[in-house]
Amino acid sequence: MFLKLPAAAGSPRLPRLYQNPLMTPSDPIPFPLEISSVVKTFNQGPVRVRALDGIDLRIKAGEFVAIMGASGSGKSTLLHVMAGLTDVDSGSVTVEGKNLASFNDAALTRFRRDRIGLVFQAFNLIPVLTAEDNVRLPVMDRADSGLRAKALLDRLGLLARRKHKPDALSGGEQQRVAIARALIADPAIVLADEPTGSLDSSTGQDLCGLLRGLCSDEGRTIVMVTHEPAVAMWADRVVVLKDGRLLTEFPTPAGHDPEAVALAYQNALHGS
């Protein structure tokens, strides 16, 4: 099953690259995500931890990138930095040509809402709201939010479940609601932090197929943090972090082969 988003009311559906009103068909942004020399440190008591230690990364429009690395290597921090959820000590984060440091808080929140879809391992749904209202929440102020939420839930096979609250939905259904919510503003970029981490492997694979479709069929740019080769295999490229640095990267081996990804990852980590 692949998503085809409903067009916003009154506007024809446009190719993904050209939906940003600041862009024209002759002026697509080739790298909607650009991270340059980013350093991020955290205080842990008396210790200062360098979570990101000089990261440079460019992600192409319509690319699906998986970020792998050992626990504590900086994967989630990097994703949060891309979303502007975490500020950086030095370096720059440019999303669709905008340096995130140039926004004030309100403008950054608006930009994130409109241009970036966020998906987390824990779903982060509001328990007292129905599936439909969870999906509508980011754009509740827009007249067509109800229609768009219904259309998205329909595409995701959840229309009949739309009046249910999260605790009446399975893990896979809850994550699909979270994805519908991430897509409600029709963002060009989707950032997912271990989106399959709370799902069984079969449901997780379905979810990966769905993310793949968002990229291949709709041209969205996706960055996904994962520990699992069987999840990373759905991406176009795997970026490997170690101790806050970009250790290496490799194109995903052809054929959706988890063992080939696991081998390439181990080779990357151990330098063979």
Q: Which residues bind ligand ATP (CB under 6 A)?
A: 42, 44, 49, 51, 69, 71-77
Nearer to ligand ATP by Cβ, of 51 and 116: the residue is 51
At residue 84, φ and ψ (nearest 5 deg) are: 70, 20
Closest CB to ligand ATP among residues 26, 44: 44
| Residues contacting 102, CB < 8 A, separation 6+ | none
Nearer to ligand ATP, 61 or 222 (CB): 222
Closer to ligand ATP by CB, 44 or 104: give it.
44
Do residues 108 and 116 touch, judged by C-beta distance below 8 A?
Answer: no
CB-based contacts of 209, cutoff 8 Å, min separation 6: 1, 234
The least distance separating ligand ATP from the CB of residue 173, rounded to whole angstroms, comes to 24
The neighbour count for residue 114, using CB atoms within 10 Å, is 14
> 79: which 2 tokens?
């994703």
Sign of CA dihedral 50, 56, 60, 61: positive
Q: From the CB of 268, what's the least distance to ligand ATP, in Å? A: 15
CB 122, min distance to ligand ATP, A: 12
> In the block, which residue shows the tokens 């949060």?
80
In this structure, the number of other CB atoms found within 10 A of the CB of residue 264 comes to 22
Residue 50 beta carbon to ligand ATP: minimum distance, rounded to whole angstroms: 8
Cβ atoms of 229 and 265 closer than 8 Å: yes
Distance CA 157, CA 252 (A): 29
Nearer to ligand ATP, 67 or 131 (CB): 67
Q: Of 62 and 244, which CB lies nearer to ligand ATP in the complex structure?
A: 244
> Minimum CB separation from ligand ATP for residue 74, in Å?
4
In the complex, the smallest distance separating the C-beta of residue 76 from ligand ATP, rounded to whole angstroms, is 3
Q: Which residue, 70 or 140, is less far from ligand ATP as judged by CB?
A: 70
CB 52 to ligand ATP: min, Å: 8
Q: How many residues appear in the chain?
A: 272
**Closest to 66 (Cα-Cα) out of 265, 263, 270:** 265
Using an 8 Å Cβ cutoff, are 51 and 42 in contact? yes
